[in-house]
Amino acid sequence: MMRFVSFSSGSCGNCYLLLGPRSGILIDAGVGIRRVKKELEALHLGFDHLSAILVTHDHGDHIRSLGSFCKRLTLPVWTTPTLHEALLRHPFTRDWIGPCRQDLQADIWNPVTEDFDVQYFVVPHDATQCVGFAIRCGEELFVLMTDLGHTTPQALEWASLATTVVVESNYDLEMLLGGDYPQVLKDRISHGIGHLSNDACAQAIQQFLHPGLRNIFLCHLSGNNNTPELAYASARAALDEAGVGPGAIALRVLRRGVASPLLTL
């Protein structure tokens, strides 16, 4: 059995917790350690429920507090060798990451905690490198893909095996193009190595949809170029079009700056 909570999702900070029967992993550390402590306490949990940290990439909204977590808790931090080299140089992490470093190996199940085995896949994004995760716990497969300019065959393949998928639904194209971001930023977001639009997310959902899928969580919504209602409606329409009724798959939007309930997957 797995449980999941999002402490925050989006450019304001990303931090998720996945709990197994005996261990928990934090995915990204873009939320302050004191806030995570408070959120854990509200769920009658504590830092002793954290056994490891996974890192998707080296943008501030994903690693802002990673140094504090390393300094305070000295948990193993698992990511790719390429990203670890970047974290060893990054001002947010360089003083504290060394003793926590654990390299994920490619194309094998990495035993990250006693409950969780992890494989990573590279996704296109304008960071040093950015990865999605396939996380196995017993019969369950949790797949997370965030901060990706477009989907890849490998990402879709993992998602098409998953029981739960967390997928980015970053922006509504009309809001982005009609909004007041400078053109260079609009291009950065929408041209393949930035973020996934609601439309691209909806298309991905139709591609990875399969009978074993129970949960889809939409993550990393833009604060300026999206709304939870638009993201939800777009994904919901994709499911309806594929003949999947509201009861068959739980569809949920993960909010910016606000914790989700503790969800049993």
**Which range, of 60-68, 107-115, 237-245, 247-255, touches Zn ion by CB under 5 A?**
60-68
Work out whether 59 is an interface residue with Zn ion (CB under 5 A).
yes
Per CB under 5 A, the list member of 28, 61, 140, 172 interacting with Zn ion is 61
d(CA 131, CA 188) in angstroms, rounded, equals 18
Closest distance between Zn ion and the C-beta of residue 146, in Å? 7
| Dihedral sign of CA atoms 50, 54, 59, 62 in order | negative
Q: Which residue, 124 or 179, is less far from Zn ion as judged by CB? A: 124
Closest distance between Zn ion and the C-beta of residue 48, in Å? 28
Quote the tokens at residue 158: 């993992």
Contact at 8 Å (CB) between 220 and 14? yes
Give the type of residue at 45. L
Rounded to 5, what percent of the chain is helix, strand, coil?
30, 25, 45
| Dihedral sign of CA atoms 75, 77, 78, 81 in order | negative
Q: Which residue, 165 or 196, is less far from Zn ion as judged by CB? A: 196
Closest distance between Zn ion and the C-beta of residue 151, in Å? 16
**Which range, of 53-61, 115-123, 165-173, 179-187, touches Zn ion by CB under 5 A?**
53-61
Residue nearest to Zn ion (CB): 59
Instruction: Name the strand (E) or helix (H) holding 72.
Output: helix 66-73
Closest distance between Zn ion and the C-beta of residue 244, in Å? 28
d(CA 217, CA 196) in angstroms, rounded, equals 14
Within 132-171, which residues bind Zn ion (CB under 5 A)? 147
Work out whether 195 is an interface residue with Zn ion (CB under 5 A).
no
Phi, psi of 137, deg, nearest 5: -140, 105
Query: For 98, which DSSP code?
Result: G
Q: Which residue, 15 or 45, is less far from Zn ion as judged by CB? A: 15
Closest distance between Zn ion and the C-beta of residue 13, in Å? 9
Q: Which residue, 51 or 93, is less far from Zn ion as judged by CB? A: 93
Count of all residues that appear for the chain in the document: 265
Count residues binding Zn ion (CB under 5 A): 3
Closest distance between Zn ion and the C-beta of residue 53, in Å? 16
- List residues near Zn ion by CB under 5 A: 59, 61, 147
